[in-house]
């Protein structure tokens, strides 16, 4: 369990736009994939069963890009505890040389699967993801 999680992605032909590099929508999809993988890896099973997360906001800085076949490493980090139903994630994508390509802050809201309503993130749900 950790406030930080890393995952690698490879730019496939279907990820490439008319400019010859990864399309911005793909970076957003990868942000969702790493956040979901982190939740599935570190959340308690009863929390995975009870809750689902939705994005409420993305702030993204695109600094560089990659082309077909190139691999990137994404790291997602939760730097502070939740506010009500919301948790912020910071995501950084780096190329094979360690150069920062994309930096983002995403805000996620927790939804109770049974009611379909926002649910305040309880301390026991947040605990596996908090720093230090």
Structure tokens at 40: 């599935």
Cα torsion angle, 53, 123, 93, 96, sign: negative
Rounded to whole angstroms, the Cα distance separating 104 from 29 reads 12
pLDDT higher than threshold 90 for residue 131 = no
State pLDDT tens for residues 104-120.
Answer: 999 999 999 999 999 99
Question: What is the pTM assigned to this prediction?
Answer: 0.93
Kindly list the structural domains of the chain, giving each domain's residue range(s) and its CATH number in brackets, ordered by start: 4-129 (3.10.129.10)
Q: What is the mean pLDDT of the chain?
A: 96
Q: Percent of the chain scored above 70 by pLDDT? A: 99
């Amino acid at each position: 369990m950790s406030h930080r999680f890393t995952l690698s992605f490879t730019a496939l032909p279907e990820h490439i736009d008319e400019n010859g590099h990864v399309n911005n929508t793909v970076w957003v999809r990868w942000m969702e994939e790493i956040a979901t993988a982190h939740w599935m890896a570190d959340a308690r099973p009863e929390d995975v069963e009870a809750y689902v997360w939705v994005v409420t906001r993305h702030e993204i800085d695109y600094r560089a890009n990659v082309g077909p076949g190139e691999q990137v490493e994404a790291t997602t980090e939760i730097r502070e505890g939740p506010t009500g139903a919301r948790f912020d994630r910071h995501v950084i994508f780096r190329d094979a040389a360690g150069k920062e390509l994309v930096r983002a802050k995403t805000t996620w809201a927790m939804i109770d699967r049974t009611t379909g309503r926002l649910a305040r993130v309880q301390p026991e749900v947040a605990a596996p993801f908090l720093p230090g």
